[in-house]
Amino acid sequence: MKKDKQNEAAEEILQEELPLEEVVADPVVEELKAAKDQLLRLAAEFDNFRKRSQKEREDIRLRAKSDVLKALLPVMDNFERAICAEPAESMDVLQKGMEMIFGQFSGVMESLGVQAFGAAGDAFDPTLHHAVAHVEDPEQEQSIVAEVYGKGYLLDGKLLREAVVVTKG
């Protein structure tokens, strides 16, 4: 009997201590809830940042395209005027008009940072030139550009397109 009374007493103590454990556990539980909440907020904030960054990149890309096209529209207008104009009496007038439009287009390209390169007589550079043919010339020590089939272009010093050339040397 004595043991039964001791067991009952122990159970009472344990039952009385249970609320104490809940009180002790509450700060831990609250801390976990706060950490979970903070983690969820941080994840949502990061997701919003990612979406906002993607939208900003798309806006920048669109603005860049828009700026280039706005610069090219006057050239397009001049080509349209040339096509719609009365036939020229001489080829000189047509030639002069095409030269003017080409000059305008070259100016737009230059203002956008595009530089043309590749002329006959230039030293051949395999990083800038694409050789489609080679002509032997024993008098020439180095390979040089003999003929240009298509100019090369740099954008702010970076290669856009290689010049297509025939070399000799």
- C-alpha span between 116 and 122 (Å, rounded): 13
Using CA atoms in the order 80, 81, 82, 87, what is the torsion angle rounded to 10 degrees?
A: 120
Confidence of residue 7 (pLDDT cuts 50, 70, 90): low
Give, to the nearest 10 degrees, the angle between helix 91-111 and helix 2-84.
Answer: 160
Instruction: State residue 140's pLDDT score.
Output: 77
Confidence of residue 20 (pLDDT cuts 50, 70, 90): very low
Has residue 24 got a pLDDT over 80? no
* Residue reference for tokens 């100019």: 151
Strands (E), the chain: 114-117, 129-135, 144-150, 152-155, 158-161, 163-168
Mean pLDDT over all residues of the chain?
85
Q: Tell me if 132 sits within 8 A of 162, measured CB to CB.
A: no
- C-alpha span between 119 and 165 (Å, rounded): 9
All structural domains of the chain, each given as residue ranges with its CATH number in brackets, are 114-169 (2.30.22.10)
Confidence of residue 26 (pLDDT cuts 50, 70, 90): confident
Confidence of residue 5 (pLDDT cuts 50, 70, 90): low
Q: The pTM is what?
A: 0.61
What does the pLDDT look like over 102-127, one tens digit per residue?
999 999 999 999 999 989 989 999 99
Enter the tokens of residue 98. 């095409």
Comparing 164 with 12, which gets the higher pLDDT? Answer: 164
Instruction: State residue 154's pLDDT score.
Output: 94
How many CB atoms lie under 10 A from the CB of residue 72? 15
As a whole number, mean pLDDT of residues 28-45 equals: 90
Which one-letter amino acid corresponds to residue 122?
D
- C-alpha span between 164 and 118 (Å, rounded): 8
